[in-house]
Structure 1
Amino acid sequence: MEITLNGIVVIVGNYGSGKTEVAVNLAVAKRQAGVEVRLADLDLVNPYFRTREARQILAQQGIDVVLPDEKYMHADLPILTPAIGGMLRAPSELTLLDAGGDDVGVTVLAALADALKGKAVRMIQVVNPFRPFTETIEGCLKIRREIEAAARLPVSGIIGNANLIDETTTDTIYTGYDFVRRLADTTGLPLECITVATGLLPEIDRKRFSCPILPISRQLVPPWKRAVRIGPRSLNL
Structure 2
Amino acid sequence: MIAAGLLLLAVGAADIVRQFAPRRWIGYLTVAIILLVLGSVSDAVLPMIFALVAGALWVWCMPTRGRAPMSFWPAVILGVLAVGAVVWFGDRADAGLLGAVWNPRSPFGAVTVDLAVLAVGAGAFLLESANLVVRTALDGEHTWRPIELMRGTGEEIGAEDAGQADGTADVTDAEGGGTPLSRGGFQGGRLIGPLERVLVMILTLAAAYPILASMLAAKGIVRFPEISRDGETGARAEYFLVGSLVSWVIGLSAAFLVWWAAHS
Same fold at TM > 0.5? no
Larger gyration radius, structure 1 or structure 2: 2
Hey, which of these two has a bigger chunk of helix by percent? 2
TM-score by length of 1: 0.29
TM-score by length of 2: 0.27
